[in-house]
């Protein structure tokens, strides 16, 4: 599964209520905070709603690789 790291880069002050609630649902509370989530269609929709407030980095997890 692919993991996504989301960083809030802009304050939610002055934003519409819907954008503030989306940030809260993502687990973001303050500027500069980073949270990680699994990449799903629902998450992508949420990110589309607040794309002007966040930056997204995709990190692929190595489930199939062995650490031997």
- Residue 58 CA to residue 40 CA, distance in Å, equals 12
For residue 67, what pLDDT band results from cuts at 50, 70 and 90?
A: low
CATH of 2-60, one of 1.10.3210.10, 3.30.1390.20, 3.30.530.20, 3.30.110.40: 3.30.1390.20
The string of pLDDT tens digits covering residues 23-64 is 999 999 999 999 999 999 999 999 999 999 999 999 876 665
User: What token pair was written down for 13?
Assistant: 């002050």
Q: Tokens 């649902």, residue?
A: 25
Nearest to 28 by CA among 4, 1, 9, 48: 9
Nearest to 5 by CA among 29, 25, 28: 28
pLDDT higher than threshold 90 for residue 12:
yes
Q: What is the dihedral of CA 45, 50, 56, 62, to 10 degrees?
A: -30
* 34 within 8 A of 56, measured Cβ to Cβ: no
């Amino acid at each position: 599964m692919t993991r996504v790291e989301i960083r809030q880069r802009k304050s939610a002050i002055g934003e519409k209520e819907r954008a503030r609630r989306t940030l809260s649902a993502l687990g973001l509370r303050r500027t500069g905070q980073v949270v990680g989530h699994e990449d799903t269609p629902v998450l992508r929709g949420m990110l589309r709603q607040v794309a002007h407030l966040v930056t997204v980095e995709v990190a692929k997890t190595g489930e199939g690789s062995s650490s031997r």
